[in-house]
Structure 1
Amino acid sequence: MARHDKAQGGPPAEGANDRQWAQELMSSVRCAAVLFALLLVVDWGTGRLALWRTALWVALAGLLFGVLCPARVTAGEGWLSSRRLLRERRVRTNALVSVRCLDGISQRLLLRDAFGGRVELDPEVLVANPRLWYRLEEDARKSAADGMLLCGGTALRLLSQRVDRETARAVFKASGLE
């Protein structure tokens, strides 16, 4: 494995990853496989099993997998990336200009940097992975201190309180004090 140098602009050798990504990926694979199996069983039970219908069910199961497949979030000193099936988005967290909470069916966190980078991610990923949150918060503080972070202080503060609350709850649960 090649080690990247900071001067080259590559990610540093040590970073934080989403620890639950593999479990979520397997869940999406299982859901797609169960859908495919159920559709095949229904076709077989009705006697309409055909090659073209099987190809259609494979495509439908693949579409479901594509929708359910989680983004792989990683962070290091000065950067955060979110990788989906076809694309990776990266933001320089040490040059953040905006952090916004987007409400809708599911809450999203939108990060923008001074160089046009944009990453949208589920805040639950940061809550469930304190190391990821630590990397983002440390660099966001640097951006705010440098006067680059123009909006998002409130969103970061609320998310920080939520991460602290969940971390404390996990510590109490692990120590048997809950």
Structure 2
Amino acid sequence: MDTNRKQEGLHLLGNDTDYAATYAPEVLETFQNRHPENDYWVQFNCPEFTSLCPITGQPDFAEIKIQYIPGERMVESKSLKLYLFSFRNHGDFHEDCVNIIMKDLVKLMQPKYIEVIGLFMPRGGISIYPYANYGQPGTKYEELASQRLMQHQLV
């Protein structure tokens, strides 16, 4: 691993992978954004997300899409993968999962803007697609969050 990245506190890259058996926000790691003066989008797509229904214990399957405009810190992708995998045995409703993911990432890296979409597979003939977003308060990103939420629609 690049020594500069080691100095940033990244511990997962280049090491054996240990998958958490329960919800594990502590596995998330960040690194310094080398272009904080630029506004640009970063998108992650997790097409194999699973969690458990909190009532029945049955698995729920989804595609989770995360898009953000980074601030000073960015989420490291292997740690994000392990974090999302930690939901596998976590029991929560679809809407809760999406909001928890968004809030954990906001707390972790303080992005300028972030949105999380869950495209959950049908259960009982109904698909659920929760959407949550956040923009830094008092900035143009807060306005962006409001606009995108009000105009949100799945294509």
For Structure 1 versus Structure 2, the TM-score category normalised by the shorter chain is: under 0.3
Which structure has greater strand proportion? 2
Length-normalised TM-score, structure 1: 0.24
Higher radius of gyration, 1 or 2? 1
Length-normalised TM-score, structure 2: 0.26
Which structure has greater helix proportion? 1
